Structure 1
């Protein structure tokens, strides 16, 4: 009797010399058994036929007798295989294993050795085997048997439909094989079974591969490929071909834990030999598989399944959970679904293997420290612990109604309010405006909910307007996604609307007559996340709020109150006064809510070789994904923040790949991405699943940083420093739930800014928050909103100056139209809709629709801004969406759409582009100092010219596989800005010490740009500069370090040379600019002097500087091409000051991809990428400035 493991011992046994021989005889004509006990395979019997373009009449020989011309039957559909199945006994399934007697074997030298005794039996469950698991073992046995026989047909595709009938015959008793049955098997052995939908064309290539390769064991069935015919089979196996649009999905079943190999006997000795190659005299024919091989593979799989099932039962027993319930719950994660567009399918519940009650954060960190991949990633002084805080309660100074008290208790279980809640509500009751600056999840929403409900009880006609971020409590939402047919109903019936400044600006205020009832009864305006309204955008919102107050006053409502919530900022009270134009503001910054213990960790990506710092740092995405997965496996709900959209998608891919590596593929479905570009429907579905706790992990950009409530999270991972300390603190605040501990991790990348904070973690906690600023004196912004206000209601400058300032007295006569009665109206050039001529955000109207055409789906995946489209969508490139890869087949610039198809490839694409920022017309000039040798600064029109001219195919390690050219039109736009040409003597000094001129210019631009907020009201990103790209500036040695030798000839030195010039331009405001660069131009001399002082006062030792001198946290090129010393040379020469040339360092050649990181040397001159700047033509009639 041949024993097939624990299960096979009673459930599946073949009498070798009797029943099995009868089986051979019975199926001789069907399976091709010969009388020697071997099995040979007849020709094609699958519904998926071979595609041969060069096959002869006798390309293969077979031992099977000739058949008629009728279609051959499906081998899996033949008469059920006869097996001997004694009744099941519980102890036989998961009890004591049968132990074979050790046998003596002969070695090649004739010596006897004794085989090792079997290992002691593993722990088995103490409870009887449930009936569900008996049926489960029978299902596995039947699948194992049928699949193993089908494997002898290399061209037979084991789809679910193909094997279903044969498996049901093995099960007997009329049992039907369902998809759920196979999913249950996969729960027990997830890595041993493949059960998923695949493209039918993929199977045709897989099953029709090279016969000789397949015959001699070199072609693995588990290596699927893409394609539709034999001519493209090789490309398909490598994953280079996409799904075709005219194919269908089929459900494939495979065991992937072993494969049959043919048996070859030596022609002289008759001994078995390895079939590595065909012997000289051996005829080409189909492979022969012996009974021993087939039974051995069946036995091996059965034993593994038995062990795995025992382990599953024991695990359930230890956790005191019902194994049947656990099996039913976990099977949902393994139910296959056809590839779908858009977001993932609805997330299943977390599997039982993820603990519902996690350990403490401290214990989890300790466990991770003990893992073999931990190499002291937590930096010295980089682990901070903040103790838990107990609640502090307060009392209201007035009585709430019993109905409201009951509602608070029944819906939220509230019997007491925290001190900051009661203080804020009391101030509102007394008629003050209120700003609350407390931590995330401190109960701020109650502060505006209770007063609004209290007012509605007193006056049912009361109205409330809540702006931003409150979607989870919505009564009615009124924003750009609201259908037009719903807007009238909302306007007339809703008591509380949820909107944003954009709709107030574009729709509500211009249609004052339609909204008069709402505005007349408006009691509260709630603006959440007030710290967002900063700089240029904040200035726009400030004027919108003044327009709102003006209209409300005109309809008799002078009692509207404003409520704001904000993260911890430096000047919340002053900022609220500036935004709303009110003086009666009460600040509540004491947090009375409880909070759990919080831990913050600075986690530095380790070196590739932990013992060799010169090896460079490893991949940050891989490091983050590993940490992310380990936290989830321990029951921690995690969100990871990325700087840009593409990194979000790449990290999502990395997380799922890590779960695959850990044999926990099912958990990957519980992680989703969230970023800008997704459709409103997809985003709100993701928000809903996050809030309801259906997901274990989120990978997001800062689109989720503000304004979206996603419920409670245990941990936040920030991959790479997120541009500013404020961003980092805001993201970290996402972690934590009341009375539970939480974790925040900053994963340091290899770039200078990241490494600065890894080496100085104290600054993360001690650096002050930036003050928020808005500029009400900006004439460009002021005029736009005055024109809107005049359209809404005619203006009287003397009365309306309380809203728009004294500038209105001068602006009205020159920019507005005065009627005979003395009222001022909107200028005709702004009509008929002036609000649409005034853009309050840096947004675009034109978008490209990305359409998934896989299998003719034609579903819009997302929309991409036109300015971003050419950098992310190009024909032949890879587009990422929810971690899935799509191949761009077409980019139609006339119809604004891109067609993509789903592919599975192990490479990505990286665009090759350049952006030139050049002044084209001078409007003003100003000497930067009184020194005779000082240079001049210029102001005028700036052209931004961007071109995507190709892309690289890169592998997972970032190595270039191919370079492809594309023909895309350039992207051009105009703005305003200022510039300074680098003096010739500065260039000569830099060249004398082989210092990189581009790095010096880049560092000098950052040093000046960082000081703009000190002289001009602005926020980061309002003014930008031309950042230098490492791959262009650092020479051929760097290019060789990043490309294999076969591409060295293709990577020629760049021929595009840039003028030696410092350029600063308005990032917003269109061709007229935002006015910020114009104001900075007035202080250019002082800006330069302050920049020199800042550089020379900084004590950092890095040649590339730090965030305290020349590095900019928002640099899109990661501050790689930087020279602190070179910046000092340029700035001093611009001012006409002396430079100590002998004290300058000497440049060093770059010889690896770790340039500019970790204290690398001063960058050498490299290629001639910078040339002397030429004078820019003057605009006729412009004024020339004199002095500072």
Structure 2
């Protein structure tokens, strides 16, 4: 086994092979390109120029452009291919500041710890070189600050911040912004913010990132800094737009690379065997030739299976190959990365976890098991090979998937296709709510701030105030969060909390998985693969966030079954596409894993089906849906075809081809097909964003729906199968096992919709945009919007007062201590009670021997208002009557406060800040008066309490809020919809 000088022999052997040669459908050589160097002298300081001269390093054109823009104070986004030297742009800018002696700080943000560790080494190495050629000291140039940093080291970094703090978005969110007072010196000197791999900040992660960067700008401005942002990305279709969505300000995009590239070979294989088995064989051949190889898969399970199948073929070379994926423990991943870099490993099988720019050395071959879902991801993964300007190869092995087969049938479409645009939704409602709370906890929000501009943001702000999650200062136009650290409740990556996977025999944690994924992949009874070992899930505890597994070697694999329902919450926009109504709006999706199937490993035959009772997952998101005209439904059914099978197949095919429209994975979207939807009252096919609040995918599809229909038809029609297969209308994630599916009916359905085009049928009137339909609820009631209006159609403010209301309070004979605790309130006894009666406009006093009259009085009122009257006063009175006091029309102001705020406030505190008045005593003083026989003083005190409660109630009803002082001493507003509460009580 002699290592070849390049990849050529391997490719020749592949194409000449009697087995694999016929499976190669395309081989394209991508010619090498020469470097393009900068013209003219870069405006860096002399020490940095001297360092470059000593390194004999010339700047490429894109590096020169980036540095020049930075020195002019411009925010930049550099989107050039992998290994084009992007990191030198920001590192040279940082070294320039150090060489000039500026007391600046720099924030480096990387999505992965391994990337951060790489860049720390690079920056320290450059700093050492700068010291060698100048008198500049680069001591304390960089420090890592992540989840692995010890408490001692964290304190030291905070007390003496380095020039460059290298961290990740999670640490910025949880530690720097949340505790910004501890980092004041760092923020004061913040000059550059470096954000690497920004193409990974799309979808829900991008929505979170856009808000974190807004919060960062806000905190920096608070300390007098205005940092310049430096963003780096793989090649994407909309770099400028992505940068501006993330920063909410203009950026300068640099997209033309001046870096050289060696020859790359791109090979498409449509395998006779499964893609995973083919990859295993190709990996074996590469490792035996000592070609350094990376295999990318689409799932954790496939990663493990390829490792499992390849090991026996490699014999004593099996230890030269490793799996790598999310779910491995950090120390496992670091070990594998180091072995790759050193060359100890010849091959690695990875999910997208190794897609980003971790330095794992020079590789020769990249094998893609299935199309990665986008042109961008294909080239990003392929960019891991050929870094030393040697020939390299990328082999794409197609799966039986509609998108993969689309490119197998038309390879040129891949090479001619523009790189996709990254989509995110900065106004994702759940994300916006979470980060506005974080903003309010970090610094008071002010109405004039840029972050609050826009009607959508202000609407969310009002909702948070009404929900008691943000409190308005009494002066108005400023808000803060009553929670001290709401940042802890925000998960940036989505998918819910992480669950630990535990070996039930040893108790060792062998991996982790997010809760949403776990319900489909690690439910009780499921087969789970980890590092080429097979486990069966024995116990599943969402409450404890633990999954217990046991080592087994079953002869079957498992797949979950699920059911879904959808509800339209809001129709944002509707238009006619080829004679069918297509709509975009907000939807609620309910999904429940109902069981799982066991299938034979060898034959894939069904062995058994087992029911499960797992929690339902509910999300409100954005969706696009098409309503099928009744005439088309009748035509298909008239031909004795399966209409449900038609729309089910159409849903699967559209989802499979979704990545042709926008940068996403098919797992980022979901779909539901309904033969008769309860709101549209027609057959409807839904495609929706798989994340709460939506991330912009359905919105993009709505604008390109004609293209989606056309591509779906051509893909289904072009597949040679007879009844449907994974290459056209079957889905690997279908919760009903791809039943029912009718390919023939799907083709007729798609063709009929597309043929119903106004340009082809002038007699059919078509409209580009139409008013949103009035969807009816399933019970025939009015639309959701009308029902919401009716729900809120009650008297407002003081008009909500009934004809006769009363305000009530009482004092007791005995204390809680005297009766044995607060759980025995019914033994305290009543000394005095006072009722304000609005019909009398006066106060009525009752003593203990008059409790029957008191209770009769209360039952004559349309509304009984008190402060803790439900949980205290009514329980004191309960021993004096057989009447059910729970049936009183009671409004408890303390209960309303606690519902809104999450905790209780004292009447005196509310009265002081809201009314400018104070109570005349307290309950303990009233008890002493009772023992002293001073009943008149108790009556006066109780009457004063009722008066305060009445005035507080009327103020809150008229103004919609109370005032109180929070823990920080700020006087804030507590919004209360007392009129709505009254409407619920009295109907």
> What TM-score, normalized by structure 2, do the two folds share?
0.65
Deviation at 1:908, TM superposition (A): 4.8
Note closer, same or farther for the CA distance 1:980–1:385 as it changes in structure 2 (3 Å cut): closer
Deviation at 1:649, TM superposition (A): 0.8
Deviation at 1:842, TM superposition (A): 1.5
Q: Would you say the 8 A contact 2:364–2:392 is kept in 1? A: yes
Show the counterpart of 1:586. 252
2:587 and 2:14 mapped to 1: Cα distance? 55
Matched, 1:387 2:42: no
1:1113 and 1:959 mapped to 2: Cα distance? 15
Note closer, same or farther for the CA distance 1:994–1:655 as it changes in structure 2 (3 Å cut): farther
Q: Would you say the 8 A contact 2:709–2:754 is kept in 1? A: no
Note closer, same or farther for the CA distance 1:797–1:1124 as it changes in structure 2 (3 Å cut): farther
Matched, 1:973 2:575: no
Note closer, same or farther for the CA distance 1:936–1:528 as it changes in structure 2 (3 Å cut): closer
Deviation at 1:911, TM superposition (A): 1.8
Matched, 1:690 2:340: yes
* Residue correspondence of structure 1 range 818-829 to structure 2 within 5 A: 818-828=472-482
Deviation at 1:647, TM superposition (A): 0.9
Show the counterpart of 1:1067. 690
Show the counterpart of 2:447. 797
Deviation at 1:368, TM superposition (A): 3.1
Show the counterpart of 1:504. 172
DSSP 3-state at the match of 1:471: helix
Q: Would you say the 8 A contact 1:995–1:1126 is kept in 2? A: no
Matched, 1:851 2:503: yes
Show the counterpart of 1:281. none
1:930 and 1:573 mapped to 2: Cα distance? 32
Matched, 1:866 2:524: no
Residue-by-residue CA offset, 1:960-998 (whole Å, 9 max, x unaligned):
484364655354334356666766654443334344434
Deviation at 1:1114, TM superposition (A): 9.4
Show the counterpart of 2:182. 514
Deviation at 1:534, TM superposition (A): 2.5
1:463 and 1:990 mapped to 2: Cα distance? 67
Matched, 1:450 2:92: yes
RMSD over equivalenced CA pairs, Å: 4.5
Show the counterpart of 1:753. 403
Q: Report which stretch shifted further, 989-998 or 1096-1105.
A: 1096-1105
Q: Would you say the 8 A contact 2:369–2:399 is kept in 1? A: yes
Show the counterpart of 1:427. 69
Note closer, same or farther for the CA distance 1:743–1:517 as it changes in structure 2 (3 Å cut): same
Matched, 1:543 2:193: no
Matched, 1:918 2:573: no
1:845 and 1:1074 mapped to 2: Cα distance? 19
1:424 and 1:521 mapped to 2: Cα distance? 22
Deviation at 1:767, TM superposition (A): 0.6
Show the counterpart of 2:156. 489
Note closer, same or farther for the CA distance 1:827–1:1136 as it changes in structure 2 (3 Å cut): farther
Show the counterpart of 2:282. 627
* Residue correspondence of structure 1 range 285-300 to structure 2 within 5 A: none
Out of 824, 835, 838, the residue aligned to residue 487 of structure 2 is 835
Matched, 1:1182 2:784: yes
DSSP 3-state at the match of 1:731: helix
1:753 and 1:1091 mapped to 2: Cα distance? 12
Note closer, same or farther for the CA distance 1:388–1:861 as it changes in structure 2 (3 Å cut): same
Deviation at 1:557, TM superposition (A): 0.9
Q: Would you say the 8 A contact 1:977–1:1065 is kept in 2? A: yes
Out of 648, 651, 655, the residue aligned to residue 1002 of structure 1 is 648
Out of 304, 311, 320, the residue aligned to residue 656 of structure 1 is 311
Deviation at 1:434, TM superposition (A): 2.3
2:159 and 2:261 mapped to 1: Cα distance? 41
DSSP 3-state at the match of 2:565: strand
The unaligned stretches of length 5 or more in structure 1 are 1-352, 607-617, 660-664, 1034-1058, 1141-1172
Deviation at 1:451, TM superposition (A): 1.4
DSSP 3-state at the match of 2:322: strand
The unaligned stretches of length 5 or more in structure 2 are 121-141, 466-470, 676-681, 761-774, 788-987
DSSP 3-state at the match of 2:385: coil
Q: Would you say the 8 A contact 1:990–1:1126 is kept in 2? A: no
Note closer, same or farther for the CA distance 1:1027–1:696 as it changes in structure 2 (3 Å cut): farther
Q: Would you say the 8 A contact 2:723–2:742 is kept in 1? A: no
Note closer, same or farther for the CA distance 1:1093–1:391 as it changes in structure 2 (3 Å cut): closer
Residue-by-residue CA offset, 1:735-792 (whole Å, 9 max, x unaligned):
1122211110001223332222112111121111122344445555444433322322
Deviation at 1:718, TM superposition (A): 0.3
Deviation at 1:639, TM superposition (A): 0.5
Show the counterpart of 2:380. 730
Q: Would you say the 8 A contact 1:436–1:565 is kept in 2? A: yes
Residue-by-residue CA offset, 1:899-952 (whole Å, 9 max, x unaligned):
44445x4x5532242221113x66457996799x98797977634333253442
1:762 and 1:908 mapped to 2: Cα distance? 41
DSSP 3-state at the match of 1:975: strand
Deviation at 1:731, TM superposition (A): 1.4
Q: Would you say the 8 A contact 2:48–2:95 is kept in 1? A: no
> What TM-score, normalized by structure 1, do the two folds share?
0.55
Q: Would you say the 8 A contact 1:1001–1:1130 is kept in 2? A: no
Deviation at 1:847, TM superposition (A): 0.8
Note closer, same or farther for the CA distance 1:975–1:914 as it changes in structure 2 (3 Å cut): farther
DSSP 3-state at the match of 1:942: strand
Q: Would you say the 8 A contact 1:673–1:882 is kept in 2? A: yes
* Residue correspondence of structure 1 range 358-397 to structure 2 within 5 A: 358-371=4-17, 373-379=19-25, 382-394=26-38, 396-397=41-42
* Residue correspondence of structure 1 range 10-21 to structure 2 within 5 A: none
DSSP 3-state at the match of 1:417: coil
1:1113 and 1:732 mapped to 2: Cα distance? 28
Show the counterpart of 1:294. none
Matched, 1:598 2:261: no
1:407 and 1:1105 mapped to 2: Cα distance? 64
Deviation at 1:419, TM superposition (A): 2.9
1:723 and 1:435 mapped to 2: Cα distance? 24
1:429 and 1:752 mapped to 2: Cα distance? 48
DSSP 3-state at the match of 2:323: strand
Out of 721, 738, 746, the residue aligned to residue 1126 of structure 1 is 746
1:463 and 1:397 mapped to 2: Cα distance? 22
Note closer, same or farther for the CA distance 1:944–1:1127 as it changes in structure 2 (3 Å cut): farther
Show the counterpart of 1:440. 82
Residue-by-residue CA offset, 1:491-538 (whole Å, 9 max, x unaligned):
333322222223222332222211111111111111111222234432
Q: Would you say the 8 A contact 1:870–1:968 is kept in 2? A: no
Q: Would you say the 8 A contact 1:624–1:719 is kept in 2? A: yes
Note closer, same or farther for the CA distance 1:1090–1:1018 as it changes in structure 2 (3 Å cut): same
Show the counterpart of 2:855. none
Matched, 1:675 2:335: no
Deviation at 1:599, TM superposition (A): 0.8
Show the counterpart of 2:763. none
Note closer, same or farther for the CA distance 1:630–1:912 as it changes in structure 2 (3 Å cut): closer
Deviation at 1:702, TM superposition (A): 1.0
* Residue correspondence of structure 1 range 343-358 to structure 2 within 5 A: 353=1, 355=2, 357-358=3-4
Out of 387, 393, 398, the residue aligned to residue 743 of structure 1 is 393
1:1062 and 1:603 mapped to 2: Cα distance? 33
Note closer, same or farther for the CA distance 1:992–1:787 as it changes in structure 2 (3 Å cut): same
1:402 and 1:922 mapped to 2: Cα distance? 63
Show the counterpart of 2:196. 528
Q: Report which stretch shifted further, 533-542 or 762-771.
A: 533-542
Show the counterpart of 1:991. 637
Matched, 1:472 2:118: yes
Q: Report which stretch shifted further, 627-636 or 686-695.
A: 686-695
DSSP 3-state at the match of 1:989: helix
Q: Would you say the 8 A contact 2:561–2:596 is kept in 1? A: no
Q: Would you say the 8 A contact 1:1004–1:1128 is kept in 2? A: no
2:685 and 2:169 mapped to 1: Cα distance? 36
Q: Would you say the 8 A contact 1:383–1:600 is kept in 2? A: yes
1:1007 and 1:1066 mapped to 2: Cα distance? 16
DSSP 3-state at the match of 2:669: strand
* Residue correspondence of structure 1 range 1014-1053 to structure 2 within 5 A: 1024-1026=669-671
2:231 and 2:730 mapped to 1: Cα distance? 28
1:779 and 1:1076 mapped to 2: Cα distance? 12
- Equivalent pairs, count: 731
